[in-house]
Amino acid sequence: MATIPPKIKVQVSGKERLQKLKEAFHETYGQMPVFYACAPGRVNLIEHIDFVGYAVLPMAIEQNILAAVSVSDSKTIQLANTDPKYKNFTVSVDGISIDRENPQWHYYFLCGVRGIQEHLSLSSLAGMCCVVDGTIPASSGLSSSSALVCCAGLVTMEANQKSLSKVTLAETCAKCERYIGTEGGGMDQSISFLAEEGTAKLIEFNPLRATDVRLPDGAVFVIANCCVEMNKAASSHFNMRVVECRIATKMLAKVRGLDWSRLLKLGDVQKELQVSLEQMLELVEEALHPEPYSTDEICKTLGISAEQLCENILSANTHTYLKNTHSSVPGTCTARLHASCSLRPRATLPLPTPSLSWAT
Residues 226-259 pLDDT 10s: 777 766 554 556 678 888 889 989 999 999 999 9
End-to-end Cα separation, the chain, in angstroms: 20
> The dihedral of CA 135, 118, 90, 33: what is its sign?
negative
Domains and CATH numbers, the chain: 16-213 (3.30.230.10), 236-341 (1.20.1440.340)
> Residue 68: beta bridge partners?
36, 131
The whole-model pTM stands at 0.85
pLDDT band at 349; cut points 50, 70, 90? very low
Q: State which amino acid sits at residue 114.
A: R
Please list the active-site residues: 188
d(CA 230, CA 50): 19
Q: What is the pLDDT of residue 225?
A: 80
Helices (H), the chain: 16-29, 105-120, 144-159, 166-176, 187-194, 237-255, 266-273, 277-287, 295-302, 306-312, 319-324, 329-341
Average the pLDDT over 299-304 and give the result: 93
Helix (H, G, I), strand (E, B) or coil at 106: helix
What three-state secondary structure class fits 17?
A: helix
